[in-house]
């Protein structure tokens, strides 16, 4: 058995905090899938798997606060622009085809909202459609592998928030992500706009920032 099999799952997860992620090498795909199934209800944990490397991370208050605020912004966008935006939250993306997996902080179906799956099981790349946008909040510069993972899923748009800046990456025909100034799924949004409102949401009363965002959308739609 691989590295994870030598450890009790509770023991493996016991000392993981936002400041103390755990990285294991030489992990088998089968053990990763078993671990994801055993921890589906552990909402304070995030995992990624790529090329035998398993990364397990904890999530703190600040991380979750940013994530939830982005979700609020998306709700306002749906209301003002009359769009059906389906939030899949931190759905666990697992692909048996490419043997990669990750738990994004947020994920959204917009163009493919009508194809979103409403089930409590792991994402099934045989039958499910990937989200249109995934979001990562990176507090420790640990998201490099996510580009390869999300590209393998064919996810068209990847938002990365790090060091107080949100960057938008669009999937090119080459299969690589290229930085984009604006969202493909929501062209009204630019990386600069999103950065401004997300950062304000961490410093000011959120209801006021959301009202300002609503007004901005009304003026620019």
Please compute the mean of the pLDDT values over residues 200-211 and round it to a whole number.
97
Residue with tokens 């790529």: 50
Question: pLDDT, tens digit, for every residue of 71-109?
Answer: 999 999 999 999 999 998 778 899 999 999 999 999 999
Count of beta carbons in the 10 Å neighbourhood of residue 142: 15
Quick check: 118 pLDDT over 70? no
More confident residue, 149 or 45: 149
Dihedral sign of CA atoms 77, 82, 83, 87 in order: positive
Instruction: Note the pLDDT of residue 111.
Output: 93
* Four-point Cα dihedral 179, 185, 186, 190, nearest 10: 0
Count of beta carbons in the 10 Å neighbourhood of residue 124: 12
Question: pLDDT, tens digit, for every residue of 48-64?
Answer: 999 999 999 888 888 89
| Residue 37 CA, distance from chain mean position | 18
User: Taking the complete model, does pTM exceed 0.85, yes or no?
Assistant: yes
pLDDT band at residue 142 under the 50/70/90 scheme: low
Q: How far apart are CA 158 and CA 136, in angstroms?
A: 8
CATH class of 60-220: alpha beta
Share of the chain above pLDDT 90, in %: 64
């Amino acid at each position: 058995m691989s590295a994870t099999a030598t450890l009790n799952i509770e023991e493996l997860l016991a000392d993981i905090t936002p400041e103390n992620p755990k990285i294991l090498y030489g992990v088998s795909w089968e053990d990763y899938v078993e671990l994801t199934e055993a921890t589906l209800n552990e909402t304070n944990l995030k995992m990624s798997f790529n090329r035998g490397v398993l990364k397990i991370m904890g999530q703190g208050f600040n991380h979750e606060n940013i994530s939830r605020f982005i979700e609020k912004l998306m709700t306002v966008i749906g209301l003002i622009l009359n769009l059906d935006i389906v939030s899949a939250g931190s759905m666990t993306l697992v692909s048996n085809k490419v043997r990669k997996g990750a738990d994004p902080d947020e994920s959204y179906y917009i163009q493919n909202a009508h194809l979103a799956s409403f089930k409590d099981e792991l994402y099934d790349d045989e039958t499910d459609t990937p989200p249109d946008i995934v979001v990562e909040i990176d507090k420790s510069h640990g998201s490099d592998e996510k580009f390869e993972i999300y590209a393998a899923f064919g996810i068209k748009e990847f938002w990365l928030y790090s060091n107080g800046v949100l960057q938008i990456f669009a999937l090119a025909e080459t299969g690589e992500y290229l930085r984009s100034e604006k969202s493909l799924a929501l062209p009204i949004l630019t990386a600069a706009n999103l950065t401004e409102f997300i950062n304000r949401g961490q410093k000011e009363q959120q209801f006021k920032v959301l009202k300002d965002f609503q007004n901005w959308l009304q003026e620019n739609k």
